[in-house]
Amino acid sequence: MVTREDVENIALLSKLFVPEEELDGLTKSMQEIIDFADAINNAPASAEGFDCINNLSNVFREDEVVPSYPSEEILRNAPAQAEDHFLVRNRE
Amino acid sequence: MKYELVSGFETHIELQTKTKIFCGCTTQFGGEPNTHCCPVCIGLPGTLPVLNREVVRFAIKAGLAVHGEIASVAKMDRKNYCYPDLSKAYQISQLYAPLIIGGYVELSSGKKIRLHHIHIEEDAGKLIHRHGDTYVDYNRGGVPLIEIVSEPDIRSVDEAREYVEKLQQVMRYIGISDCRMQEGSMRCDVNVSVRPEGSETFGTRTEIKNMNSITNIVKAMEYEYDRQVDLIESGGKVVQETLRYDDVSGTTSSMRSKEDAHDYRYFRDPDLVTINIPREEVEALRAEMPELPADKCRRYIDALGIPEKDAQLLTKYRRISEFFDAAIEGVKSPKTVSNFIIGQMFRRAETESDKEQFDLPTTPQQLNALVKLLDSGKIRNNLAKATLEKMLDTGKPATDFISESDMGGVDDNALLALCKAAIEGNAKAVADFRGGKEKALKALVGNVMKNSRGKADAQAAEAKIKELLG
Ligand SMILES: [Zn+2]
């Protein structure tokens, strides 16, 4: 069973803000998602059947260099950065 | 009680592809922080990794070099763990269907260290710990690795050392990695356990992580063996844990025993499709493989008459063996070439990296020409040695240092001509010799020596004259 507390915890981990009035609706939706995943788990299927849904195999790229991104772009979404590095602050 | 050391290795080797395993960013070592990165290799949501074909080829070559079985079907899996060196919180690796199964590395004793498998995976980023914070550079993140997992077949530090050296040698030969331990392009995790000699069951093992030199591997294994034996002898129990080796104190310490318990929750990576490896592709790659060092060494011993110790020195580095192969073209004695390389040339390539490069001023063709002068009898050994030193100093060919007069007379044809001339010009000495005066022969030889300005071999001249008069 998914509880209101589960949804609050997941929102916290995902760094999402959830208004109080949406909590009940989201809890119900989350439960439905979990039930759906359970339904998939219970479906009988051979491993091969699941392996290549699109029948794709051997998708490769050639070993050719393409320009990388400037470090400012790479670091743009970093919660913290210093001296062109991602910065992970010590939580203690 | 006597205890036996039992050890297995997990060896990570960085592949020398131009680009990363799942994106087109360069794999070049170094660079300003976070400048060899793109949305794929920093794991931004919504990006799609696509496997570099060359990584698969290199891994198959590695598999062929260690006699492994190349899988027909291989898949990529996610190994989940949360640590800042992985931005996605999982590493793309292979667990359920690796590219290479089995194989072995043969030691000089003939013992085979069996391999469990070889898989491909992405390298993690580099962490710098400073003032309690962690600085992350993802330039190395996504660089392709192969991980070679051995069975616990190693029984001594000497076997461990040879195992690592043999892997390093063969992977360099086939050109898939430079295997530089100090630069991190080859790293070993070493499993160590002990058991009473004669016991069939394995003891509890510990794993020493991220060893980056053979010297440290040997020291860490010795330390860990002693520690485990002392622990058992004093009634304690070895705890299965991950250890770090500190080369300053020479001791091992626990790294993250709490995290050891955690499960990586491996599952198939849904972003990456199945890899099918047609047998024709395997055969095409097999055809591209160079002669492997063990085969080369055997050939030098059996077909060329090189002593085993010298054959090992010549084949330790690919460049040296290629130099030797080119320098022996058409010479009478490959051993002579080998002696020049190991004797005089090695003195000018002292370090491991000098030998790996083997970039001396003298070319194999120049050495070949020098040895042919020696073969034909035009010059003698002492002169050849002195000449090689001058060649190595300057990069110039032998003929720049050996004058015609140095070479005079000793050539077989020239000797014959000189002997004939001596016979024709000294009718009296010839008549005396024919009349039974052995001493008259000396006069003829003296004539040859004089006309060759002392460069001819007196014994050879005497034999030749006797032959002509006989
Ligand atoms: Zn990238």
Local structure of residue B208 (DSSP, 8 states): E
Q: Which residues of B touch A53 (CB under 8 A)?
A: none
Q: Is A85 on the interface with B (CB under 8 A)?
A: yes
Between B18-27, B339-348, B400-409, the lowest mean confidence (pLDDT) is in B400-409
Q: Which residues of B touch A45 (CB under 8 A)?
A: none
Band the pLDDT of B461: cuts 50, 70, 90. confident
Q: What kind and span of H or E run contains B245? A: strand B242-246
| pLDDT in the model for residue A41 | 80
Q: Helix axis angle, B293-304 relative to B318-327, nearest 10°?
A: 30
Between the CA of residue B128 and those of A80, A89, B12, B19, B427, what are the distances in Å? Answer: 15, 12, 21, 24, 92
Q: Considering only the beta carbons, identify the residue of A61, A77, A87 that sits closest to B135.
A: A87
Burial of B122 (0-12, 13-18, 19+ CB in 10 A): buried
Report the separation in Å between the CA atom of B76 and the middle of ligand 1, taken as the mean of its atom positions. Answer: 18
Q: Is the pLDDT of residue B98 over 60?
A: yes
Q: Is the pLDDT of residue B329 over 60?
A: yes
Q: Is the pLDDT of residue B143 over 80?
A: yes
Residue from B38, B30, B49, B32 nearest A73 by CA: B38
Exposure b/e, B174-191, CB count within 10 A at least 16 = b: bebbbbbbeebbbbbbbb
Could you tell me which residues are beta bridge partners of residue B253? B244
CA distance B274 to A2: 35
Inter-chain contact B135–A70, Cβ cutoff 8 Å?
no
Residue from B348, B343, B296, B335 nearest B317 by CA: B296
Q: Is the pLDDT of residue B377 over 90?
A: no
CA distance B291 to B382: 34
Q: Which residues of A touch B60 (CB under 8 A)?
A: none
Between B137-151, B254-268, B441-455, the lowest mean confidence (pLDDT) is in B254-268
Sole residue written with tokens 């069951």 = B201
What is chain B's mean pLDDT, rounded?
92
Report the separation in Å between the CA atom of B186 and the middle of ligand 1, taken as the mean of its atom positions. Answer: 22
Residues B315/B321, Cβ–Cβ less than 8 Å: yes
| pLDDT in the model for residue B464 | 87
Express each pLDDT in B250-299 by its tens digit. 999 988 654 555 688 899 999 999 999 999 999 999 999 999 999 999 99
**Which residue of B56, B274, B280, B281 to mutate against A (max A Cβ within 10 Å)?**
B274
Work out the percent of chain B whose per-residue pLDDT is above 90.
72
| pLDDT in the model for residue B387 | 92
Q: Considering only the beta carbons, identify the residue of A56, A57, A60 that sits closest to B53.
A: A60
Inter-chain contact A74–B128, Cβ cutoff 8 Å?
no
Could you tell me which residues are beta bridge partners of residue B163? none
Residue from B276, B274, B281, B320 nearest B64 by CA: B281
* Cβ neighbours for A37, distance < 8 A, ≥ 6 positions apart: none
Q: Considering only the beta carbons, identify the residue of A63, A74, A89 that sits closest to B52.
A: A63
Band the pLDDT of B32: cuts 50, 70, 90. very high
Express each pLDDT in B349-374 by its tens digit. 998 889 988 999 999 999 999 999 88
CA distance B190 to B223: 13
| pLDDT in the model for residue A54 | 66
Inter-chain contact B34–A88, Cβ cutoff 8 Å?
no
Between the CA of residue B207 and those of B58, B113, B241, B426, what are the distances in Å? Answer: 28, 18, 6, 87
Report the separation in Å between the CA atom of A16 and the middle of ligand 1, taken as the mean of its atom positions. Answer: 27
Inter-chain contact B138–A90, Cβ cutoff 8 Å?
no
**Which residue of A53, A60, A64, A66 to mutate against B (max B Cβ within 10 Å)?**
A60
CA neighbours within 13 Å on the CB side: how many for B150?
Answer: 28
| pLDDT in the model for residue B262 | 64
Q: Considering only the beta carbons, identify the residue of B38, B53, B55 that sits closest to A69.
A: B38
Q: Which residues of B touch A85 (CB under 8 A)?
A: 33-34, 128, 135-137
- In the sheet that B126-130 helps form, which strands lie side by side, from edge to edge? A81-82, A85-88, B133-137, B126-130
Sole residue written with tokens 């104190």 = B249
| pLDDT in the model for residue B438 | 84
Work out the percent of chain B whose per-residue pLDDT is above 70.
97
CA distance B281 to B227: 48
* Cβ neighbours for B5, distance < 8 A, ≥ 6 positions apart: B154, B155, B156, B157, B192, B194, B221, B225
CA angle, residues B394, B400, B404, in degrees to nearest 5: 155
CA distance B149 to B102: 9
Report helix, strand or coil for B258: helix
Express each pLDDT in B56-68 by its tens digit. 999 999 999 999 9
Q: Is A37 on the interface with B (CB under 8 A)?
A: no
**Which residue of B73, B135, B139 to mutate against A (max A Cβ within 10 Å)?**
B135
| pLDDT in the model for residue A91 | 65
**What are phi and psi for residue B267, nearest 5 degrees?**
-150, 160
CA distance B409 to B411: 6
Secondary structure (DSSP) of B420-453:
HHHHHH-HHHHHHHHTT-TTHHHHHHHHHHHHTT
Secondary structure (DSSP) of A55-90:
--B--EE-S-------HHHHHTT-SSEETTEEEE--
Residue from B161, B128, B237 nearest B193 by CA: B237
Q: Is the pLDDT of residue B459 over 90?
A: no
Residue from B245, B268, B246 nearest B74 by CA: B268
Q: Which residues of A touch B136 (CB under 8 A)?
A: 85-88
Inter-chain contact B37–A71, Cβ cutoff 8 Å?
yes
Q: Is the pLDDT of residue A47 over 90?
A: no
Q: Is B42 on the interface with A (CB under 8 A)?
A: yes
Q: Which residues of B touch A77 (CB under 8 A)?
A: 44
Residues B444/B433, Cβ–Cβ less than 8 Å: yes
Q: Is the pLDDT of residue B405 over 70?
A: no
| C-beta atoms surrounding A68 within 10 Å | 21
Express each pLDDT in B174-207 by its tens digit. 999 999 998 899 999 999 999 999 999 999 999 9
Residue from B381, B384, B368, B375 nearest B325 by CA: B368
Per domain, the residue ranges of chain A are 4-42
Dihedral angle over CA of B240, B246, B250, B252, nearest 10: -10
Inter-chain contact B274–A58, Cβ cutoff 8 Å?
yes
CA-nearest residue to A54 within chain B is: B273
pLDDT average, residue stretch A27-37: 94
Exposure b/e, B350-365, CB count within 10 A at least 16 = b: eeeeebbebebebebe
Report the separation in Å between the CA atom of A71 and the middle of ligand 1, taken as the mean of its atom positions. Answer: 12
Q: In chain B, how long is the greatest CA-to-CA distance?
A: 107
Q: Is B50 on the interface with A (CB under 8 A)?
A: yes
| pLDDT in the model for residue B375 | 86
**Which residue of B34, B38, B44, B280 to mutate against A (max A Cβ within 10 Å)?**
B34
Report helix, strand or coil for B75: coil
Q: Is the pLDDT of residue A9 over 70?
A: yes
Residues 122-141, chain B: which have Cβ within 8 Å of A?
A: 128, 132-138
Express each pLDDT in B76-96 by its tens digit. 999 998 889 999 999 999 999
CA torsion through residues B279, B280, B282, B283, sign: positive
Q: Is the pLDDT of residue B240 over 60?
A: yes
Please tell me the pTM assigned to this model: 0.81
Express each pLDDT in A48-64 by its tens digit. 555 655 678 899 999 99
Of residues A41 and B420, the one with the higher pLDDT is B420
pLDDT average, residue stretch B398-411: 72
| C-beta atoms surrounding B193 within 10 Å | 22
| pLDDT in the model for residue B410 | 62
Band the pLDDT of B218: cuts 50, 70, 90. very high
